[in-house]
A and B are shown apart, each in its own frame.
Chain A
Amino acid sequence: MKKILSLLALVLVISGLAACSAEEEGTAETIKIGVNLELTGDVSVYGIPERYAFEQAVEEVNAAGGIDGKLVELVIYDNAYDQAKAVQNTEKLIEDGVVAILGSATSGMTLAIAPLAKDNGLVVFTPSGTNSAVTMDGTVVNPWAFRACFIDPFQGQVLANFASKDLAATKAVVMVNSGSEYSKELARIFEEQFNKNGGTVVQTASYADADTDYKASLTSIATQEFDVLFVADYAKNAGLIIGQARSTSGLETVAIIGPDGFEDPKLNDLAGGAANVNNVFFSTHFSTLSDDTQVSDFVASHAAFTKAKYGKEEVPSALTALAYDAAYMLFKAIDNADSTDPAAIRDALEALESFDGVTGDISFDEFHNAVKPAFLIELSNGAPVKATIVNP
């Protein structure tokens, strides 16, 4: 009897505590938007700038009176580039009563949370997840998943076309990370398009995600005749590959191209110094080299915002710009929907046309992918020297 009573007491206490801690639905005065980002971990360099962008957008929109008179509030969780944590965060956000979710920065994490968002009827809007499966639910589109960026198939094509036309390449070597969906898809699309352009991929070298030694693969690659080396990976591996390639005989000056994963302030360090980063090209979503006034205004306002809030002026990266556009697109959708009902917001977001963002003119195709231009950046001595716009 005593045991049952004490057990009952325990249950009552716990449920009492749980009731206290459960958040209320967004009050009449604020609109809660959830943020699920890689704020720590291997790719925090992608999550942190997106956070700054979201915060800047919220500060700006609240200063102008909010949306329909209601202020926007961000609920931010860190997934540390871990799928289990990303899912946990989404569950917490659902409990917190958010009306939509911004994030994650990477395809891997967004893929993990999209099904959960769909089952619970919340928009999940990734600024930068480029893997084609992110907005899909099997073979049909996931009605609740959206992205503000182009997809990897587009990126892969852009890179292959750049290699064939701008670099006049007829032979390529592809290095692919066998542990990354991002890498594998890019490599596949690049090869398809490169073949279509009349080129041939003379060798494909695979490696594992945790590898640091690429000398063996590079030595083997150096025996081939080819014009361009495509490294389909994030800077954490691509940086090492660039550095090791530059000290492998035969590969010191070969053109190296890569996807938006190259955009990382650590790229030069990981490559062993800016002097190794020459004749390196990568595709991305944004460039501060653009002469659009919207871009230069954003660069200035972002520097001011980060200086005021974090004490340090930040230059917006592609992901900062994408996140900024994603936030404003969501605000516009909420405004157009005239409601904080997640389903109404979803419909309004889907209906957005020709949104004029800092990353270009954005519309959604039938798979909720953004149709917009890409930028091809050339790095010389570790710094961007040229940006070419490639329209869809």
Chain B
Amino acid sequence: MLEFLNQIINGLSLGSIYALVALGYTMVYGIIRLINFAHGEIYMFGAFAGMLAITVLRLPFFFALIFAMVVSALLGVFIERVAYKPLRKSSKTAALITAIGISFLLQNLTAMIMGNNTSAFPQVFDKQVYDLGGVQINSLQVLIFVVTIILMFLLQFIVLKTKLGRAMRAVAVDKDASVLMGVNVDNTITITFAIGSALAAAAGVLIGLYHIRVVFWMGTAPGLKAFVAAVFGGIGSIPGAMIGGFAIGLMEALVAGYGGTLISPYRDAVVYMLLIFVLLVKPSGLLGKNVKEKV
């Protein structure tokens, strides 16, 4: 039982990271129907930005986190303006291929600039382990939960209670009607990218601190899994992305912990199989609505 609870804790910390990254995917898809495959690289960029903020700029951790989020938001906006905006009237395929291209570009640029071997994220906090009657949780896991929950609340607040949020929801429902209602669609899309990228960067910094290893290819696997999480929860739905992220994290932890020698090496495969399963059975995901496109 204790082991199960500990695996739940592991799964939830992993899941928080996936949730943060999945939010970016879901928000961008919701607003311009694009699956931003470069999103995993924003996560990687955020980790590097945070690392450099601590080692080079000597910022304390939370300032480094904010720095990474701001810088990544700017990167996200830049990518949107330069690569995706010109393709808004083109086919979805063109935008998708561009996204994949941007993903490779970012990876290789990072490898060129930062070198292609692993770097270690500075351990600015002493890891304390708290034992609650046999259930182990360490201070970094607590930090991840707290930061994730705060960011999610902030996001929900923005989306549900502010004018900007209303604009985002409007553009997601019907872009043309929003224009007629006086919404500045371009700015709304830009801000959506900025917020999504900031969240991914936060995830990157947290993972850098928690798992230490920072390297140019670190965004690929988490990016894909976060995408699966977003689809599982219902692509386009913000609560869906949160639930999806935690679900994927838990699934991975349980497979790795209980899968035994036969199955645990395939925990990634299990996550990807879930994607196929969801697309076959309920493509709109847990919380997504089945929207029929009007021809």
Contacts and interface: CB of A to CB of B under 8 A. Distances in A.
Contact of A220 (B212, B258, B265): B258
26 contacts: A42-B117, A42-B118, A43-B117, A44-B117, A206-B261, A207-B265, A210-B217, A210-B218, A212-B207, A212-B212, A213-B10, A215-B253, A216-B7, A216-B10, A219-B7, A220-B7, A220-B258, A222-B3, A223-B3, A240-B211, A240-B212, A240-B213, A247-B129, A248-B136, A270-B120, A273-B123
B127 A236 contact: no
Interface in B1-15: 3, 6-7, 10-11, 13-14
A125 to B, nearest CB: 24
Interface of B: 3, 6-7, 10-11, 13-14, 115-118, 120, 123, 127, 129, 131, 136, 138, 207, 211-213, 215, 217-218, 220-221, 252-258, 261, 264-265, 267-268
A270 B212 contact: yes
B115 to A, nearest CB: 7
A41 interface: yes
Contacts of B217: 210
A248 B116 CA distance: 30
A49 interface: no
Given A45-B117, A266-B118, A216 B212 contact: no
Given A45-B117, A204-B261, A249-B129, A272 B212 contact: yes
A153 interface: no
Contact of B218 (A212, A220, A270): A212
Contacts of B253: 215-216
A208 interface: yes
A178 interface: yes
B265 A270 contact: no
Contacts of B257: 216-217, 219-220
A33 B209 CA distance: 44
Contacts of B13: 215
A239 B213 CA distance: 9
Contacts of A223: 3
A230 to B, nearest CB: 15
A40 B117 contact: yes
A226 B268 CA distance: 28
Given A206-B264, A240-B211, A41 B116 contact: yes
B265 A206 contact: yes
Most chain A C-beta atoms within 10 Å of own C-beta, residue among B6, B116, B117, B254: B117
Contact of B115 (A40, A217, A270): A40
A374 interface: no
6 tightest CB-CB pairs across the interface, nearest first? A206-B265, A269-B120, A216-B256, A212-B211, A215-B10, A216-B253
